[in-house]
Each structure stands twice: as structure tokens, then as C-alpha cells.
Amino acid sequence: GGGGAEDLDIKTPSISTLGFRPSMGIPNDDTVSIERGKKSGDPWVITVNCPDKSGLGLDICRTILDFGLFISKGDVTHVLCELELNIERVKVTTTPDDRVLDLFFITDNLELLHTKERQGEAYERLRCVLGESCISCELQLADSHHEARKRTSSISPAVAEELFASEYSKKECHMQALSADLTLLKKAAVNVDNSLSPSHTLFQIHCVDHKGLIYDIMRTLKDHDVKISYGRIPEVTKGHRDIDLFLQQKDGKKILDPEREYFICSCLKMEMLHPLRVLIVNRGPDTELLVANPVESSGRGRPRVFHDATLALKKLGICIFSAEIGRYSASDREWEVYRFLLDENCEYQLTTTSARNQIVDRVRRLLMGW
């Protein structure tokens, strides 16, 4: 496609102030410029000028979501994110002598992990964070046995039905009754107008803001081969966003098929209502926290879910006995599933419904940036 420019207003700790507007007079060469806001407190402006492509907005949002968050203190997952190492799967186990063995299955965005320089950088950063608590740190190529186990262990049909449901179940709505956010989330609206532009379909979105909202919208549109030509994404007003997007199909035409239009609107509403799934279940005699999110059509998972979920549990004073990340297919799509086996030795009675509701609510709130 031809060259395109995106002006992005960025304000940490989230991408909630991201906005697109036309940019004129920028050279055709690929450029990225960062400018400080005009006044104190104004968001920074990142201007990206590069050839257009389907999913460009999603790629930009992913990068912002990866690096635009304020982190008050590092941990291992934050270091890996800074190093542009994607966590594909994790196996965390507490040994009988109270030591922890963490296995991170990672891929390198820079594709340089085979070099000694890149490995040395990773070792140095990890040891700096872990300090004297680190007994050993090794980096090696995963063998075929580990690759075969990349998918998550089985989930019972009853749990899968609730975890991957397209809408909140009655049980989950009852669980979240403590949070007024659910009522607001269900009021999300998507209106379509084909009369304002001869070559574009206008999607007008009204919804509650959450961390990664623009990412969720971009991901959904990319998965349906829809391109954003231009749009308006203003500041948050009373916790809500009103977004205007002028869209075209992959062939450059408007979206005129009523069934396709309805399907895209339904998918957008579902992502605004239910971008992340959080559930606590029994796993034998133990208690397990499940967090699930859709995988992009490119095969990449949502950024920082593992980091945010573990941070939420840390703030609650709940230790993780073991953790896994894997993939699961359901509802005609692939999901990334995070499974945390919780340590019973905490201030919460994990077997009670009230305690589980509080944990789910706190974890979901941190994941959503509320």
C-alpha cells in the first residue's frame, strides 16, 4: 500500500489516550518521531510514517501496550518484556525445600537469541533483578518434548464452557455483582453509517474505557480483514470513550453486506464486554485461577497478561504454587490460557465463594486497568 502516517498521543501508564489524526507534510521515508506535549501534563506525541498495511494499527498498539505502562518495581516478567522476549509458556514450581523453579519458554522478537551477545544481555538483566536470590540461571533451546507440551493441559468441559462463553454467564454476573463496572460494560454500543462517506464505512463506538481497548478493537478488525483508513479517538470522558473509525474491507470497498456488518459489530461488542476471562475453579483438592484471552490471527498472545495477573495476586498477598501458560481451542478460535495454582497459606479462605469473588474482581480490575 501507499505511505501512511499515524499521530499517537501517548500518556502513561496506559494507552487510553491514544488518538489518530491525519498528518501532513511528513516525508515518505519510514520515520518515528517522539515529541513532548506542549504543556505540562499533556500526552507525548509519537508520529509513525511508514508504508500502509493491514493490521498496522494493531502492531503499533501492541508496541505501545508493551512499553507504555508505568511499572513501579521490576520482576522477571517485566525484564523479559523490556528485552522484547515473548513468554510463550511458563512452568513455575515450588520445591519441598521452599525453593522455586521457573521455566520460561520464550521467543525473541529480535530473533537474536542464538547470539552470545543477546544471551549475555538477558543473563545480566535477570541476575540484576534477582540478585542473591538467584541460585542459577540457564538459557537453552527447548527440545521436541517441550514443544509437544506447548498446549495447556486439559480443561474440563464445564469449566471450558464458562471460561470461553461468548457472554457473561448468570453465575459470573452474580459473582461480579460487587462491581458496578459490569453494568456499564454491557451498555457498549456500535453504530454503523454508510451515508457519510462515498468510500468508507463509519463505525461509531461508545464504551467503557479499559487498558488495551484500542488494541482489542484493532485486533478484532484485523482478524476480520478490515482496514482503518482514519479515525478519531478522543480523550476519555467520565470513564467512557466515543470512537469514530472510517473502515474499508481488504479489497478497498465499503462494508455493505448486512450480515458481515452485524457480525463485525457483534465481535467488537464482545471484545469490549469480555476481553479477558477470569475464573477460579477447583483442581482436585487445590484452587486454581484461570485467565484466558483470544490469540491474534498471527498467533501472538495479548501483552502483559502474565505480568498483570501475578502482580494482582502479589498485591492480594497470595503466593503462586505453580503456573502454566498454554493454548486452547474453543468457540472457533484459539485462546491463551494462564493457569495459577494458588497457595492455600494466605489470608483468604480460598474455598469460600466470597473470597473467590474478591480475588476474581481484583485480578480482573488490574487486568482492565481500573
Q: What is the pLDDT of residue 5?
A: 39
Q: What is the pLDDT of residue 328?
A: 85
pLDDT tens-digit readout, 117-145: 888 888 888 877 777 777 777 777 776 55
Cell numbers that stand for 145 in this block: 518434548
For the chain (length 370 residues), average pLDDT per consecutive 10? 41 34 45 74 69 62 57 56 74 70 79 86 80 76 58 74 69 46 71 92 91 89 90 85 91 92 90 86 89 86 86 88 82 87 82 88 89
Q: What is the pLDDT of residue 244?
A: 93
CATH 3.30.70.260 domain locations along the chain = 181-273, 276-369
pLDDT tens-digit readout, 198-255: 999 999 999 888 888 888 999 999 989 999 888 888 888 888 889 999 999 988 899 9
Q: What is the pLDDT of residue 261?
A: 92
Q: Within 13 A of 274's CA, how many CA atoms are on the CB side?
A: 20
Cβ neighbours of 156 (radius 10 Å) = 12
Query: How would CATH label the architecture of 181-273?
Result: 2-Layer Sandwich (3.30)
Q: What is the pLDDT of residue 55?
A: 59
- Bin 281: left if φ > 0, else alpha if -120 < ψ < 50, else beta: beta
In angstroms and rounded to an integer, the radius of gyration of the C-alpha atoms of the chain is 22
Q: What is the pLDDT of residue 17?
A: 31
Q: What is the pLDDT of residue 260?
A: 93
**The domain made up of 276-369 is a member of CATH 3.90.550.10:** no
